[in-house]
Structure 1
Amino acid sequence: MMRWTHGLINRLIVFCDIVMSILAAVIARLEWEFVSWGQIAILWVVGTVIFVQLLHLGGAYRVEHYRRYKRQFLHLLIGGGPAVLVVAACYSAMIPGDLLNWQAFLGWAILASAAFLFGRYVPVNLGMWLVQRHDVLRRNAVFLGDPVRARALLDRHRQSGPRRQGLYAFLALFDDSLHEKPAGETARGDYPPVLGGLEQLLEYVQRHPIDTVIVTKSWSDPSAISALVDKLYQVPADVIVEMDPEGFSLNYAHLTMMAGEQALQVQQQPMKGSLGLLKWLEDYSVGIIGVILVSPILALAALAIKLESPGPVMFRQPRVGRNNKVFMVYKLRTMTVDPNDDGSLGTTRDNPRITRVGRFLRSTSIDELPQLFNVLKGDMSIVGPRPHVPNMIVAPSVHYQAIQHYVARYRVKPGITGWAQINGMRGGINTVEKAQRGVELDLYYIENWSIWLDFRIMLLTVATGMTGPETF
């Protein structure tokens, strides 16, 4: 009855981390005679909670990460660094000054790090190898509805990348318009065979382990879809209804009440009320702290820019902000001055105008730091969709307004970093495909915004975005 899931594996990894932290704490207590079991338990709870929560916040507990050694090491560093600092503060507060032994504390920190690395690189890696070898996460799926739509959906699934392709094994198609199994039906090309209609599906699931039933019917008759789903309640499987890719898209719609009856709200104003106040506090507090922390970096960068090439240290350029309002963004100059460049064509990697200092500033995203002043002015947020120049050209003769839903990004303030940036969208938008992908990521951020999502994005930006591969 039990099936392995991504969530179950993630919880087992959390359990492994906790076991390793317990092992390190026990060994530390055996070495520290001046620390009681109660004190070591308090330090363990504080350190473990911070470590696990930071990894949760940074999205580290995900199946696709567990066999990537460098990423595992980086995640442990992100979670372990702050945890050690907080435990050190608690340690100094709990232990009398004459009994403090920082050399022993450093030994514990090293021991704990070794325990976490051992847990991730040995049992976790072995477990993930077994998971992939035996395909325990693969789900058996069948289609019910229109076979033509099912085959089209299957084609799109095959184009979605190898990681998603391995999630399902598609076994059969069932046409709800049929009442019996077609005579002599076999698999058609690369597609599973049509094995009949709804009655045949109900018999099929009794003989075969089915995890998911995918309903593929046209939304021109919603009542037919509802009737079909009602008949599937007796099937012990997940039921997924395909949306019409060319019709009405529900996106993040939900039910609401209007005049005492149910209605469908397909859009809502983002970050309003108390959420808007929380976002405002986040922007100004992080903005002020950020300006203070990066001031020495900005001073050094300004000196390097001035020494290498003539022209201003910073430049101002128009960008499109919330509600399509144009504002002037601040950036460190990374190219030689060209008064005719309005930014609409973007910047390519081999642009000869990029200076040596500018290339370094771009690769580390230091050139974006002056946008903290835009945050304090109220034009931008710390986290949000990236701002683009008015009339930006995505491809020859294609402006960003031509991309469906692109302007929906302007429902919120643009940000210095964002969900799109930490998912590989750093740099210029120079293809229609990249623009469309950016829109999908930005809309996901807008519809799923929370203060914790912002903290996660900021954490991942510092950990990977500032030192990621150079992109334009």
Structure 2
Amino acid sequence: MSAFDVRDLLKAAGHPGQLKAADAVHYAPTTSAIPPAEVGAPRDHGGAVSPVVLAGSVRIADLVLVVILGFAIHHIQLADMVGLGWRYPAAILSVAVLAVALFQAFGSYRIAAFRSFLKPALRLTAAWSLTFLVVATVMVFAKVADHYSRIWLATFYGLGLAMLLLERFALLHFVTARMRRGQFDRRTAIVGGGPLAEELIRALEAESESGIRIVGVFDDRGDTRSSSVVAGYPKLGTVSDLVDYARSTRLDLVVFTLPIAAEDRLLQMLAKLWVLPIDIRLSAKATKLKLRPRAYSYLGSVPVLDVFDKPMADWDIVTKAIFDRVVGAAMLIVLAPVMLGLAIAVRVTSPGPILFRQKRHGFNNETIEVYKFRSMYADQSDFTASKQVTRGDPRVTPLGRFIRRTSLDELPQLFNVLKGELSLVGPRPHAVHAKTNTTLYDQVVDGYFARHKVKPGITGWAQVNGWRGETDTDEKIQRRVDHDLYYIENWSILFDVQIMLATPLSLVTTKNAY
């Protein structure tokens, strides 16, 4: 379900008091039940380890190590007697690909297989042995066995098995250490109380391999209708408190136990929660609908209905991080002479620091400090963005007008990219107290904070479509947010590349950046 679907649903439902994004974040928590240990849990969302990425990385490592070992053994044993030709590379690649496929079939890439050694080692040995049995059988039936060294094949089998078992032993220690820190846990909040919540919690607790760690229960109903403890877990507050909780500590998943019949309550809660970068599910135990098994997703074996998915997860996060770091570092190297020249120009043309630092909203509403070349006179710099820059603004230096118009003042934000605070492409980071005229952005636009479900970027879809610069009207900030949400819902690396290629032209054609 997309961000636009949510807003359409709320309108269609006819809620007279349609919730502003501000309602989802600006409030005083109504309970003090949140344990201090939970509030202090890591807010660094990158600290969690994705089981999907880990399993994929182990697959790649297995494939690469087996290939390297096969060539290394040939080089040591046979280089002076038998050339590689095409036969040995073909055999090595066949062993590597077949081994990974059989490891998958034998369950060697499940997280459970990384958390113990003996039984997974036996399965790995069986799969590795079957790999060589199949390869040897094919060689015999294809009448090519005489073209291969039996010593090479036996050494490949023995050293390969030893290498793989040693790798799994090291992986066991890696996984165990991170499990102690809770980095494989999916920190999960339950919304709703009563028998439905208790039944769901019991079912999740029975799933030892699901990786679910329940942090507590949230319920909008008062204590007279909702117990303060549900299945041994404390009620930590209302759904509004849940938003505050997700901003202050790591939360990966929210599961609703409300029946679908409670449509109004569900919509009101979703209006607050959809701005968060978390997965939201509806417990199948809370509905009398009996759907086909394929209609559900599963937490272990517990069926749930998908309501929202975080925009980026698992390999998406890894891919975007690599793209940002590699391309960002390359841009920094290429543009270093330009940045050096601009730094000298800023220092020479007006007294004061070269860089301007400003607090802005980052991922999940975190406050980050963004770097820019200073474009205003030092004694008139506006650190809180209390007044927008307008055409002919006397606070802006002559050089500042040029670098703001061309966005050259943004180049130091490449350092923010390398630090992991910004992406190259994403919604532009707004100043914490940014306003249109006298109204804060989040009080103008429904779902404003949903743009923080991904890292902000140096450039974005809104900017290349002309929505950059001064935002002095409600319509301008609304259109900017609409474009930001479109980007979040349709993100891909190719989309990022498209936006980066379109950015230089947009800098030339945009006329409202002062």
User: TM class, shorter-chain normalised?
Assistant: 0.3 to 0.5
TM-score by length of 2: 0.42
Whose relative contact order is higher, 1 or 2, with alpha carbons under 8 Å and at least 6 apart?
2
TM-score by length of 1: 0.45
